[in-house]
Chains A and B, each alone.
Chain A
Amino acid sequence: AQKITQTQPGMFVQEKEAVTLDCTYDTSDQSYGLFWYKQPSSGEMIFLIYQGSYDEQNATEGRYSLNFQKARKSANLVISASQLGDSAMYFCAMREMGNTDKLIFGTGTRLQVFP
């Protein structure tokens, strides 16, 4: 069964520093997609970045990059030059390209950025 594991319940980082949020996944499928979402205290889920299992390059979106290591089944989110507004919950999710469009979510990591 597919599973997403986020082992860091909370992380602290100083403003302007980079931070890595860990995500490992388990699937027997060859085709899948990995997503990261940000959830500020207001509650809405904001899509950050996507990586397909066949993508050869690591995905990047502005200050966000996804460190995809397929053999290790990891998909870590790297935030460069952290800002105070990055303080939020971050969720990793996976979709298998099978018969369903469902996402499986991890338990999340709470990131706090301090001045």
Chain B
Amino acid sequence: DVKVTQSSRYLVKRTGEKVFLECVQDMDHENMFWYRQDPGLGLRLIYFSYDVKMKEKGDIPEGYSVSREKKERFSLILESASTNQTSMYLCASSHYRDYTDTQYFGPGTRLTVL
């Protein structure tokens, strides 16, 4: 059974804190993605990675960075959290260039920045 896990379902942080969101997949997928989801805006891509140590900016990378040291793990980092980063964060993974296959999603992390 395919599985993408995220380190926390709910997280509350203070403005200025450094925040790490972890994502792990057990499907040997090359691609991993971080999205944020806000009401009325759908899912927006923050960063993605198609290989270890490789990363590419998505549509809204400002204020975020990522790390992929191992194939199965993709971390999203908020260097200095701000209230406008309060959102739902979804991680996903997929096979490289398997265009007919879906992306597999984790359960999401609902982050609140106070």
Closest to A32 in B: B99
Closest to A51 in B: B100
Known contacts A44-B107, A101-B31; A33/B40 CB under 8 A: no
Interface majority SS (helix, strand, loop, mixed), chain A:
loop
Partner of B40, one of A43, A44, A107: A107
Chain A-chain B contacts (Cβ-Cβ < 8 Å), number: 56
B45 at the interface (CB under 8 A from A): yes
Partner of A43, one of B96, B100, B104, B107: B107
Please report the total number of A residues contacting B with Cβ < 8 Å.
24
Contacts of A45 in B (CB 8 A): 90, 92, 105
Cα–Cα, bound, A102→B47 (Å) = 10
CB-based contact A101/B43 at 8 Å: no
| B77-114 contacts to A (CB < 8 Å) | 88, 90, 92, 94, 96-97, 99-100, 102-108, 110
On A, residues with C-beta under 8 Å from B are 4, 9, 31, 33, 35, 37, 42-45, 47, 50, 52, 91, 93, 95, 97, 101-103, 105-108
